[in-house]
């Protein structure tokens, strides 16, 4: 089963790498070619969010491990955690953003790579974090001002936060972070090398190319939807039907539709409420990033608890 996922993901990484290069050439030739914030929101609310829309099934499995029969408790706790993240973000936006970026770095690195790693260790967990940090650091490296403008739209107006960011830029800490991310990818790539590990190599350069040519929001949307989310969806589809990926995807889509639609409705309601007195792009960015943070924390917490208790 793991071998099958590795092979599928290698093909996926190769196709993604080719498409990213072709799209980047088009952007280079037609400099005004970019995704609108609305298109980014649509892609994230459909392809992006759907990869976590089977969390209720994993939640049911977790409750069974604790011998809890009341399924509604999972939904209640999940929603409370998500709402708590939004509430904390409004109160402490700088701190919550920083925590979100750290957690997201680990999450992206782990889910994009762990299918290749046989022997899990504390070292591999650290390497996941540094590898995933490339998603966060490259937009800061190539488009610092654009990224800072997004931070400002996310309620980040703390002078201390921007002083720290200036210190990081002045002391080339972003460069050092990218170096560590590169070294972690090289180590994961070469350690017990197999052909299937070329997906690490392909993913690394895809992320660099995306962030070099595209705006931070567009680069993140393409990565999140078409690399990270699809990769996770592939693993779910294989779990649902190990004999047929196509049938597994059909089952996955049917099961994912209800919660994907529900999440989309809540996000659109939030967009409507936020847009009553704000710029549309600003409202969309808040829905995308604060909304993703509110979903990411309970999603990661569920994955951690399930993995720990299944062992």
234-263 residue pLDDT tens: 888 888 887 888 898 899 888 888 888 888
Confidence of residue 107 (pLDDT cuts 50, 70, 90): very high
Going from N- to C-terminal start, the domains of the chain cover 2-26+33-310
Tell me the average pLDDT of the chain: 87
Whether residue 219 contacts residue 211, with contact meaning beta carbons closer than 8 Å, is answered with yes
210-242 residue pLDDT tens: 999 999 999 999 999 999 999 988 888 888 887
Whether residue 13 contacts residue 197, with contact meaning beta carbons closer than 8 Å, is answered with no
Whether residue 174 contacts residue 102, with contact meaning beta carbons closer than 8 Å, is answered with no
d(CA 233, CA 52): 8
Tokens of 169: 């830029």
Three-state secondary structure readout of 196-236: HHHHHHHHHHHHHHHHHHCCHHHHHHHHHHHHHHHHHHHHH
What's the chain's length in residues? 311
Confidence of residue 264 (pLDDT cuts 50, 70, 90): confident
- What percentage of the chain reaches a pLDDT higher than 70? 96
Whether residue 44 contacts residue 292, with contact meaning beta carbons closer than 8 Å, is answered with yes
pLDDT at 259: 83
d(CA 197, CA 32): 35
Tokens of 160: 């201390």
**Mean pLDDT calculated for residue range 57-77:** 84
d(CA 139, CA 216): 5
d(CA 222, CA 286): 18
- Listed in sequence order, the residues at least 6 apart from 11 whose beta carbon sits closer than 8 Å to its beta carbon are none
Tokens of 25: 């050439």
Whether the pLDDT of residue 278 is over 70: the answer is no
Whether the pLDDT of residue 47 is over 80: the answer is yes
58-83 as b/e: b if 16+ CB within 10 A: bbeebbeeeeeeeeeebeeebeebbe
d(CA 239, CA 71): 22
């Amino acid at each position: 089963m793991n071998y099958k996922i590795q092979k599928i993901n290698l093909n996926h990484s190769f196709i993604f790498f080719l498409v990213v290069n072709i799209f980047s050439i088009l952007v280079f030739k037609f400099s005004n070619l970019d995704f609108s914030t609305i298109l980014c929101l649509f892609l994230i609310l459909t392809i992006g969010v759907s990869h976590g829309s089977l969390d209720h099934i994993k939640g049911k499995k977790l409750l069974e491990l604790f011998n809890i029969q009341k399924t509604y408790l999972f939904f209640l706790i999940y929603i409370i955690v998500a709402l708590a993240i939004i509430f904390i973000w409004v109160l402490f936006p700088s701190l919550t953003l920083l925590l979100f970026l750290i957690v997201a770095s680990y999450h992206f690195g782990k889910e994009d790579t762990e299918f290749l790693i046989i022997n899990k260790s504390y070292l591999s967990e650290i390497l996941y974090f540094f590898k995933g940090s490339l998603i966060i650091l490259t937009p800061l490296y190539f488009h610092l001002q654009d990224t800072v403008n997004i931070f400002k739209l996310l309620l980040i107006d703390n002078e201390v936060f921007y002083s720290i960011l200036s210190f990081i830029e002045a002391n080339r800490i972003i460069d050092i972070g990218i170096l560590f991310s590169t070294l972690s990818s090289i180590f994961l790539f070469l350690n017990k090398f197999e052909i299937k590990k070329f997906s690490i190599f392909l993913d690394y350069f895809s992320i660099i190319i995306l962030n070099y040519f595209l705006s931070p929001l567009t680069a993140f949307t393409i990565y999140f939807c078409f690399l990270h989310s699809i990769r996770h969806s592939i693993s779910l589809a294989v779990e649902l039907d190990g004999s047929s990926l196509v049938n597994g995807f059909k089952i996955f889509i049917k099961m994912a539709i209800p919660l994907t639609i529900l999440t989309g409705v809540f996000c659109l309601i939030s967009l409507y409420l936020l847009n009553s007195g704000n710029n549309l792009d600003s409202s969309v960015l808040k829905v995308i990033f604060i909304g993703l943070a509110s979903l990411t924390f309970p999603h990661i917490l569920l994955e951690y608890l399930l993995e720990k208790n299944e062992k």
